[in-house]
Amino acid sequence: MSVRRRAYPEVLETLLTSLTGGVAAETHPFPPAGAEATPPVTMPLLDTNATHLVAVYGTRNGRSHRFRKGSDVDLDPDGGALVWPAGAELPDVGTTVQVSYYVEGRTSVVSDIETGSVVRTLAEAVALEIAGLYAQLDAVYESAFIETASGRALEHVVALLGIERVEGGRGVTKVEFNRAAGSRGAISIPAGTRVMDPAGTVEYETLDSVTLSPEARTIRVEARDVESNAPVPADTLSVLPVPIAGIARVTNPAPARVATTAETDAELRARAKSFLHGSERATLGALRHAIAWHGGGMTADIEEDPDLPGRVAIRPHVEALSPAMEQRLLAAIEEARPAGVLVRLLDERPPGRIDLSLRLSTNDTLLEEEVRGAHDEVRRAVGRYFEKLPAREDGSTSRLVGAIMAVDGVEDVRLLDVVMDGVSVLDGGAGILRLGGAPTVLGELRIADTNVPTRMLLLVTHPVGTEAPAVADMRSALDAAIAYLNDRNAREVEAGAADEARRALSYGRLLHALPLPGKPAGSLAAFDAAASAGGAPDLPDASSIQPYRASFVLTQSTGMSVWLAEAGQAYALVPYERLSLAGVDLEPEA
């Protein structure tokens, strides 16, 4: 049950309607019995002779709301029902609406309700008092929940969990968490995480939940002494009683200070919610939480054996499970499992690697640094989507596109291809990613954005005493080759091996277009035409350009670089990807 607060205007309208012979605050469920909550919606009234609609009040988006006559709701021509037309703002499903209206033929001895009249003055005084009671009732209702209670009411709610507000006088300090070398992904550090000194005599707990982003190495969060100890010096809190995967080191860079104020409502609320989240036991949810908490966000398949009640199998979604991690998971599972239930930890189930290519349109007014920042945020959004995707569900292209479009600066996006372990899983017609029930993790993200091209850098070395290649000639030839590639990649995107071959920038193709002493530049257009006719010339390699050495470095907008320096190496352009020449470096070699 929920309580809807009725403000002064609604109470006054209800009183005046009742005093003048109308039907006041007639209550109806929404949607009506047997009807769908899709406009147009017809709501029959108890009296079928309504002549004038006064007001309709209800709940919308969880808040008290007055619906507009004529736009949201109106009487039907016969006066027997309310009609919610197409385009109307509808009440929340499962709530009630209160309707006030006048009926044909019904009269009242009270007729003067103009402002200043005796009846109106008395009604306003009564309505003000009733509205005040509704406000008090709403405050009482809100004070029963952790999310909305405050002050003493919040203290009473969390007391049910055995939690009390921390008063002032305890030590507080910033605690710094450092990422382990080689760790990847976001690392969540929940409120209430404990840190202590090596002797275990002083223990602090964090006050807020924070997340160490994939690009960040450190993060700081406020922590408070669990007991009333003297403030600790700097670099004292260096032990995590419960290790967090991906965190290598923790410390307090500055000395603690004495807090003069008590724990705020927000801090108390966060601590209580963290306690609730971690206090679940003997359920599948408790097992999932234990694995995620002690496995650094790890997910797993958790299945009950239908033939053998009391047997649960857990298969972690990781490439490899270290012995230390396995023991930590076993201990966490033992603590969270239901009594009498046998839980087995099975072999690992590596998540499928998702390589995604997309075409992005960003705002033309953004600076290049801002566009690159938007690309980074897109990568984080896509990564979060696949991390949170349940293992047994196929992906949704609309939800994935929605997550990308939510990034500031992104105006349009088109999924070009989604590949899992080398196989395309994009079904554009059905709007799904056919993942086959496998857990997933984001691998390579390729972004084609005309506002930020992929940059190509040429590095050429030559022995001292040999003729130096002409930088201007090499730059001119590569500019021409890049212009040709950009033109072809923007207007010829077709399915098939021929299109893939044209977009494959092999080391040999790039050398073919590069002029060196004794080796003229070749035309990529002529080469592709000859290849289409079945008579492409042989491509040069590193041995055929000696004593010169050439390397090509291609850097995407996301910062990933590909180095091409020998035969067999290639860079595959995604459709609509644009190249630009970052520079030509020439270096003599002893």
pLDDT tens-digit readout, 392-450: 788 888 888 888 888 888 888 888 888 888 888 888 888 888 887 778 888 888 888 87
Question: What is the average per-residue pLDDT within 503-512?
Answer: 86
Q: Distance from first CA to last CA of the chain, Å, rounded?
A: 84
Question: What is the average per-residue pLDDT within 558-570?
Answer: 84
Question: What is the average per-residue pLDDT within 335-343?
Answer: 78
What pLDDT is stored for residue 328 in this prediction? 80
Cβ(575)–Cβ(360) below 8 Å:
no
* Residue 550 vs residue 590, higher pLDDT: 550
What pLDDT is stored for residue 494 in this prediction? 53
What pLDDT is stored for residue 457 in this prediction? 93
Question: What is the average per-residue pLDDT within 188-196?
Answer: 86
Residue tagged 């395309």 (tokens): 424
Cβ(556)–Cβ(439) below 8 Å:
no
- Greatest C-alpha distance within the chain: 116
What pLDDT is stored for residue 27 in this prediction? 92
Beta bridge partners of 361: 412
Question: What is the average per-residue pLDDT within 329-358?
Answer: 81
What pLDDT is stored for residue 274 in this prediction? 67
What pLDDT is stored for residue 459 in this prediction? 93
Question: What is the average per-residue pLDDT within 110-119?
Answer: 85
Is the pLDDT confidence value at 296 over 70? no
Beta bridge partners of 519: 516
CA 440 to chain centre: 16
- Per DSSP (E only), the strands in 228-370 are 247-251, 257-258, 300-304, 311-316, 342-345, 352-362
Question: What is the average per-residue pLDDT within 10-25?
Answer: 90
Is the pLDDT confidence value at 237 over 60? yes
Is the pLDDT confidence value at 174 over 90? yes
Question: What is the average per-residue pLDDT within 492-498?
Answer: 52
Question: What is the average per-residue pLDDT within 510-529?
Answer: 88
Question: What is the average per-residue pLDDT within 178-184?
Answer: 79
Element (H, E) at 474: helix 471-491
- Model confidence at 293, pLDDT cuts 50, 70, 90, reads low
- Lowest mean pLDDT across 36-40, 139-143, 164-168: 164-168
Question: What is the average per-residue pLDDT within 65-78?
Answer: 90
What pLDDT is stored for residue 38 in this prediction? 84
Question: What is the average per-residue pLDDT within 194-211?
Answer: 86
Tokens at 211, concatenated: 């997340």
Question: What is the average per-residue pLDDT within 314-328?
Answer: 81
Is the pLDDT confidence value at 173 over 70? yes
Quote the CA–CA distance of 510 and 540 in Å, as a whole number.
9
What pLDDT is stored for residue 277 in this prediction? 55
Tell me the percentage of the chain whose pLDDT exceeds 70: 94
- Lowest mean pLDDT across 170-184, 283-297, 367-381: 283-297
What pLDDT is stored for residue 297 in this prediction? 61
CA 544 to chain centre: 51
What pLDDT is stored for residue 126 in this prediction? 93
Amino acid at 504: A
DSSP reduced 3-state for 26: strand
What pLDDT is stored for residue 499 in this prediction? 60
| CA-to-CA dists, residue 377 to 403, 409, 410, 537, 558, angstroms | 10, 10, 10, 44, 10
Is the pLDDT confidence value at 534 over 90? no
CB hemisphere CA count around 79 (13 angstroms): 12
Mean pLDDT (the chain, rounded): 84
Question: What is the average per-residue pLDDT within 218-238?
Answer: 89
* Residue 39 vs residue 182, higher pLDDT: 39
- Model confidence at 275, pLDDT cuts 50, 70, 90, reads low
Number of C-beta neighbours around residue 311 at 10 A:
14
Tens digits of per-residue pLDDT, 246-272?
A: 888 899 999 999 887 777 888 788 777
What pLDDT is stored for residue 492 in this prediction? 53
Is the pLDDT confidence value at 479 over 60? yes
Nearest to 24 by CA among 106, 84, 140: 106
DSSP reduced 3-state for 334: helix
Burial class (CB in 10 A: 0-12, 13-18, 19+), 137: middle
